[in-house]
Amino acid sequence: MEKTFLMVKPDGVQRALIGEIVSRFEKKGFQLVGAKLMNISEDLAKEHYGEHKERPFFGELVDFITSGPVFAMVWEGKDVILTARNMMGKTNPSEAAPGSIRGDYAVQVSNNIIHGSDSAESAVREIGLFFKEEELVSYDKAVAVWI
Ligand code: RTP
Ligand code: MG
């Protein structure tokens, strides 16, 4: 089954949005298979956002994502990578549709509440950066047959 890496960023944790965000993915029908509240080291931040290292906002991005705890998660389900990106909304909250997480809760591109893997390759890479294999839990859910 497809898996993706999602993370409530420091602004989402500070604004007490962990429960709301987890709830949205649960209600949608996806399954949580790994989660932890953690601080991101500067090295992990630079590795995670490595694709942006030449961008002018890279320093601010690393400072922001290391500024407080994040809630890192792995979610599983059919087409979860693309569907989660749609549920998050566009990167810039001013363009994110109402009803999406960024559309409902964010104003600034630098503080946009949630991260989600943007492709199958990113998902594998990011899950591997944040979770050890034994931290992911595989289990059957009775409700899954209805989804
Ligand atoms: P993310 O990686 O955090 O899930 O966000 P994303 O895929 O929607 O956007 P991406 O292009 O990967 O950008 C990563 C994060 O960098 C910040 N950003 N700032 N100041 C700017 O113009 C700018 N552009 C991007 C955002 O916080 C974005 O989430
Ligand atoms: Mg991205």
Q: pLDDT tens for residues 63-122?
A: 999 999 999 999 999 999 999 999 999 999 999 999 999 999 999 999 999 999 999 999
Residue 21: the pLDDT is 98
Is 147 inside a domain boundary? no
Is 13 inside a domain boundary? yes
Is 24 inside a domain boundary? yes
Is 65 inside a domain boundary? yes
Task: Return mean pLDDT, the chain.
Answer: 97
User: Which atom of ligand 1 is nearest to 118's Cα?
Assistant: 7
Residue 133's pLDDT band, with cuts at 50, 70 and 90, is: very high
Is 145 inside a domain boundary? no
Task: Count up the domains in the chain and report the number.
Answer: 1
CA angle 107–72–145, rounded 5-degree value: 100
Whether the pLDDT of residue 15 is over 90: the answer is: yes
Q: Is 112 annotated as a binding residue?
A: yes
Residue 147: the pLDDT is 84
Whether the pLDDT of residue 57 is over 80: the answer is: yes
Residue 68: the pLDDT is 98
Within 10 A of 145 (CB to CB), how many other CB atoms are there? 7
| 91: helix, strand or coil | coil
Q: What is the mean pLDDT of residues 128-132?
A: 98
Q: Ligand 2 center to residue 89 CA distance, Å?
A: 12
What is the rounded CA–CA span in Å between residue 144 and residue 119?
Answer: 24
% the chain with pLDDT above 70: 100
Question: What is the best residue among 91, 107, 113, 129 to mutate for testing ligand 1's pocket, by most ligand atoms within 8 Å of CB?
Answer: 91
Is 44 inside a domain boundary? yes
The domain in which residue 130 lies consists of 2-135
Residues with a CB atom less than 6 Å from ligand 1: 52, 57, 61, 91, 109-110, 112, 115-116, 118
ipTM of model: 0.95
Domain containing 49 — which CATH number? Answer: 3.30.70.141
Residue 18: the pLDDT is 98
